[in-house]
Amino acid sequence: MKTVTAKEPLVKKHDWSVIGLILTFALFGLVSFAGQRILSTMILQSKMDMSTYQNTLYSFNLIVGIISTAVLAVCFIFAALGTSGGRRAAFFIGLISALAPVFGAVSTTLLFKVLRLPSMGAGSVIAAAVSAILIILPAFIMFLIFACSKKLEKGSRLLTLLIAILALIVAFFPVTIAVLALVVMPGNPAMAPLMQLSAYMIHVRPMMIALGLAVIYFMNRKNRTNP
């Protein structure tokens, strides 16, 4: 006779930690986008010069990155402690992606000035690629583990897997466009609209992670058994 696996919630305790992950990833994407848009508008209106813009943007990204990384790290740790088995391992793997917000702010400086890695004339592209890998790969592996957990609802696992695949595509779209525009087809006017789109897609990455976590969490809340 076929054994039916008892369904469980994503976490058995510390539910606030998963809510915190969802909100922090979503807000990180939204706040980063809003800040960049405001500063870009100011430079277009000649309210600041390029040097001031770059310094202000760096400081803004660094502050948002430090706060986001700290909150995400705490939430990932408590989420892992609030569950067991493969789901605990998944959250600990996801913890690596908590480094992405602060790394994204200092990636160019860290890679090419501190570590002195060769930029090969494409430092910004390399930094963007490393940032994309750091935020999306651990999250993608985390979602894959969730998708393989038979203790979670099948519908939630399939939907989370779909979101994980879409998040992977969204994450590397800006990097692919940057490589095409700066290395393969430099100066091609047809790449301008895609470059503009890729600038927005960067901020979608954390929101896709938030969406995946929201789906897997809320679709399995009904599995909680009250003592």
What three-state secondary structure class fits 44?
helix
Rounded to two decimals, the pTM is 0.86
> Tokens 């651990």 belong to which residue?
138
pLDDT at 93 over 60: yes
Two tokens at 171? 């994450």
Contact 147, 164 (CB under 8 A): yes
Q: Which pLDDT value is given to residue 213?
A: 96
- State the pLDDT confidence band at 20, using cuts at 50, 70 and 90: very high
Distance, CA of 88 to CA of 35 (rounded, Å): 34
Q: 226 falls in which pLDDT band (50, 70, 90)?
A: very low
State pLDDT tens for residues 102-127.
Answer: 988 887 676 656 656 555 444 566 67
pLDDT digits (tens, 9 = 90+) for 22-46: 999 999 999 988 988 888 888 877 7
CB atoms within 10 A of CB 32: 21
**How many CB atoms sit inside 10 A of residue 119's CB?**
14
- So what's the pLDDT on residue 18? 96
Q: pLDDT per residue over 170-208, tens digit each?
A: 888 877 777 777 666 776 677 677 777 777 788 888 999
pLDDT one-digit tens code per residue, 121-138: 445 666 777 788 889 999
